[in-house]
Structure 1
Amino acid sequence: MARQRKKKKQTTRGKKDKIQQQQLEYDKDELQEQRKKDEILEAIQIQDLDKLRLLGRQPNGFVSNSLRRKVWPLLLHCPQWNKQNKKYYMPHKDEQQVLLDVARSLGTYPKGLSEKKKKKLQKELNHVIVQVLRKYPKLHYYQGFHDVCTVFLLLFESQEGASQLMGHVALFYLRDAMLESLEPILRELTLLDTLFRLEDEELHQFLQMTGVLPYYCLSWVITWFSHDLDDLPSIYQLFDVFLSSNPMMPLYASAALVMMHRDTILNHFSMDDPSTVHSYLSKLPQQRHLDVTRWIKWMVDLENKWNPLLVQKYGNVALDQVSSINTHHSLLFSTTSIYLSRQRHHHQQQQQYQQLLENNVEEWVTQACDVLTLPPLDRLPLNLDVIKSSKSINMIPPFLTYSSSPPWKMILVSAVGLGTAAILVAHRPDIISSWSY
């Protein structure tokens, strides 16, 4: 009897110790989260964009939706996003397709949406997309753009604000997907194979022997995973990372997601069954209990190790010089310089620097719109010969000028499979529309 009482006492003490340990861990997490919130608020106050980008690339990103509503506009250079915006009335050629996609939207998240609320949001979503297209009529709408717009609309709860912000997302991040065809994006997807070769030769060889092409991740890249994930908080965290990074980050995220499941791929699938492998890969974002924290750390580490320039060089695949990936550094450099100058000067000169920033962003909007008007053969490939083979490079150098390479070199960087896929997508839009909405 005494032994039983002693055992019961030990069990009770063990449970108490476990509860206390859990409480200590919870308190520690709460303290870390509060410290990060304080860091974010301080960076917002002084508009330290470099610090915000650093914080956004960490797990849990900008922590809360209220902070995201403050940070995302800064990263997109839209501090006046909530002001009354001009409305545009000239119809865009793709508006009928927008209507079809919007009618199939908002079926996955947010959870528990009433039919009345859903119809209201769909109307607002249509307004967001149409205003972006009418404001920048050279943009070509693609199926999946509405998924990204949905996330912004749900977070900011303002169709006018979401439209303003999505305009800059389209021009500075998704521009390569909004040209006259998806060929630039399909070319970017071939760099996935390069990342596998650089990081995991065994996985790379398996996928090569299987013959699986990287088009299973097309929707991941052009929708920032918002089409394939059904957990809105996780999507917000991914958007924190993407908005804080080079526009190629969704490709790093794709590579990291596949490599996280490399053991399952290598041990449970056969090289002789490419269709099954392709099906498994395409559904990876829908895996239960997806560790988003680990995933974010993996993708950021991958980009830190192999920046976009090096991946293009080692893959011998040159993206366009004017691609959003290869011009992103210039936007970061110019706007960050203005913010730093603003911090160093007296408050009386703040208005002057705000005007300088606005003029700078307007110039970048104009240049982005100019890229949209370029014929495909005028969008010359990056000269890979000037890229140093050094892992220490962490920024695209400021020497991106048009190379003297003839336009036909653009064609040579594409493999037969890429060309086939580009033609297939161009003539068979049902391939993309077959995504389940």
Structure 2
Amino acid sequence: MDSTESSLEARPTVAPKTHSLNAACSNGDVDALRQLAISKGGLLDDEVRRIAWPLLLGCAASNVDEPQVKDLPAHSDEGQVQLDVDRSFVYYPRGESDEKRESRKQELSKVIVTVLRRHPMLHYFQGYHDIVQVFLLVLGIDAAVNAVSRLSLLRIRDFMLPTMSGTEPHLRLLPAVLYAADPTLASHLSQTQPFFALPATLTLYAHEIEEYGQIARLFDFLLASEAVVSIYLFAVVVISRKEELLEIEADEPEMLHSILSKLPKPLDLDSLIEHTVTLFRKYPPEKLPGRAWPHISSNSVLKTTRHLHDPTKQTLADGERHFEKEAAEIRRQDALERTQKQARILLRRYRRPATWTGTAVLFALLALYARSDASPSVTAWSSALAGIQRTLFDAWRRYLS
């Protein structure tokens, strides 16, 4: 551990826990590491994290046969990556020279670009660099590439889809968790959309927490937990502010949103983590009200990390497969919503008899099939549906004329 890292994180002397951490790391005991990462103080220091984080993510030894980043096609998001990298390392490490900070930025850019070029289906989002810079500081550039690849495809994949639609199921779970935990507060916030939680949950809180020791300790907890636990953590933060929030009228969602979109300071992370674990055990996702959980895609990280005891059982190929399936689901849903919107506009405009309303609904359903990415096994069926769709469309057009 070099002097810079020593200055970033004071190493408390907790002999029994240090012994347990060393034993768990030496034995590759992921279950023990999870319990230790969740307990008070987390993994204690970066020396332990350098071993523990890759184990918690299920990282294998680096593949020496991976292509060099310079030999891979540029990713379309690299321009935005550079803009964000230029704004990185603002709060930590402290006291470094401009030369050292510039060197770190170059390393950060290399990690992000390498991950994106090796997995070009991933889409960069603003704030991703906040996550990656923590991994870079803890693990170093070589180990960070492997860890961030697995994090991206297996833990935050929903945030790296072609659109931001993948974030909505995460945010929509928040009201359900709040209703389960505190119906009074949830009702008070019911007019405020849960998008106030996006900056924190999207970046694993790295965009919101300015202290290196705090964000590293929080990553201990998040990497040791299922992806959905991040939402429970935000719910606990909201509940901790109940008194302040109830003082504001429920019909002032803008004011409530302004307060909720910023984390309170200071953060008692150990207390928040303890309450999050309790809340998660008391109201697991399957027991949340409003059927919030069943509506989530089976390809979402919210479900693919559920009850995942051995992280090595999931591969990067698994992540890519779930990515493509979820992206296809979103495309189909977007197409259906567009078609339904067009049908509603036509119905409002012309207000024709009920029989035509049924035809419009059928037309919307058929359009969904015709626009989706059909596999070879359903090509003939899709062609038939497309033919029926054209017939209905012609009849509809004649009727309107």
Query: What TM-score comes out, normalization by structure 2 length?
Result: 0.75
Matched, 1:75 2:56: yes
Alignment equivalent of 1:163, drawn from 145, 149, 154: 145
Q: Residue 101 of structure 1 contacts residue 143 of structure 1 at CA under 8 Å; is this kept in 2?
A: yes
Aligned equivalent of 1:385: none
Q: Residue 308 of structure 1 contacts residue 325 of structure 1 at CA under 8 Å; is this kept in 2?
A: no
Find the aligned partners of 2:23 and 2:326 in 1 and give their Cα distance.
Answer: 44
- CA change 1:178–1:255 in 2 (3 A) is same
Q: Residue 299 of structure 2 contacts residue 326 of structure 2 at CA under 8 Å; is this kept in 1?
A: no
Unaligned segments of structure 1, at least 5 residues: 1-28, 337-356, 381-406, 417-437
Matched, 1:51 2:32: yes
Matched, 1:100 2:83: yes
The alignment-based identity, stated in percent, is 29
Find the aligned partners of 2:291 and 2:128 in 1 and give their Cα distance.
Answer: 30
- CA change 1:275–1:187 in 2 (3 A) is same
Matched, 1:302 2:279: yes
Alignment equivalent of 1:36, drawn from 17, 38, 60: 17
Aligned equivalent of 1:223: 203
Aligned equivalent of 1:270: 249
Matched, 1:281 2:260: yes
Write out per-residue CA displacement over residues 61-82 of structure 1, whole angstroms, 9 at most, x where no aligned residue: 1111111111001111224259
Find the aligned partners of 1:184 and 1:309 in 2 and give their Cα distance.
Answer: 19
Find the aligned partners of 1:216 and 1:35 in 2 and give their Cα distance.
Answer: 40
Secondary structure of the residue aligned to 1:190 is helix
Write out per-residue CA displacement over residues 355-405 of structure 1, whole angstroms, 9 at most, x where no aligned residue: xx6xx55xx21121122223644479xxxxxxxxxxxxxxxxxxxxxxxxx
Find the aligned partners of 2:336 and 2:306 in 1 and give their Cα distance.
Answer: 26
- CA change 1:214–1:375 in 2 (3 A) is closer
Aligned equivalent of 1:243: 223
Deviation at 1:329, TM superposition (A): 3.9
Find the aligned partners of 2:290 and 2:155 in 1 and give their Cα distance.
Answer: 21
Two-structure CA RMSD over aligned residues (Å): 2.7
- CA change 1:122–1:41 in 2 (3 A) is same
Q: Residue 217 of structure 1 contacts residue 282 of structure 1 at CA under 8 Å; is this kept in 2?
A: yes
Find the aligned partners of 1:84 and 1:70 in 2 and give their Cα distance.
Answer: 23
Q: Residue 320 of structure 1 contacts residue 379 of structure 1 at CA under 8 Å; is this kept in 2?
A: no
Kindly provide the amino acid, as one letter, of the partner of residue 19 in structure 2: D
Secondary structure of the residue aligned to 2:305 is helix
Q: Residue 165 of structure 2 contacts residue 330 of structure 2 at CA under 8 Å; is this kept in 1?
A: no
Aligned equivalent of 2:6: none
Kindly provide the amino acid, as one letter, of the partner of residue 249 in structure 1: V
Alignment equivalent of 1:175, drawn from 138, 157, 180: 157
What is the correspondence of 1:310-389 to structure 2 with a 5 Å cutoff? 310-311=287-288, 314-315=291-292, 318-329=295-306, 332-333=308-309, 335=310, 364-374=315-325, 376-378=327-329
Q: Residue 180 of structure 2 contacts residue 289 of structure 2 at CA under 8 Å; is this kept in 1?
A: no
Query: What TM-score comes out, normalization by structure 1 length?
Result: 0.69
Number of equivalenced pairs: 326
Q: Residue 206 of structure 1 contacts residue 271 of structure 1 at CA under 8 Å; is this kept in 2?
A: yes
Q: Residue 61 of structure 1 contacts residue 241 of structure 1 at CA under 8 Å; is this kept in 2?
A: yes
Deviation at 1:223, TM superposition (A): 0.6
Matched, 1:124 2:101: no
- CA change 1:411–1:247 in 2 (3 A) is farther
Alignment equivalent of 2:172, drawn from 181, 190, 211: 190
Matched, 1:144 2:127: yes
Secondary structure of the residue aligned to 1:374 is helix
Kindly provide the amino acid, as one letter, of the partner of residue 16 in structure 2: R
Q: Residue 191 of structure 1 contacts residue 317 of structure 1 at CA under 8 Å; is this kept in 2?
A: no
Aligned equivalent of 2:214: 234
Kindly provide the amino acid, as one letter, of the partner of residue 235 in structure 1: I
Find the aligned partners of 1:329 and 1:213 in 2 and give their Cα distance.
Answer: 26
Unaligned segments of structure 2, at least 5 residues: 1-10, 342-401
Kindly provide the amino acid, as one letter, of the partner of residue 157 in structure 2: R
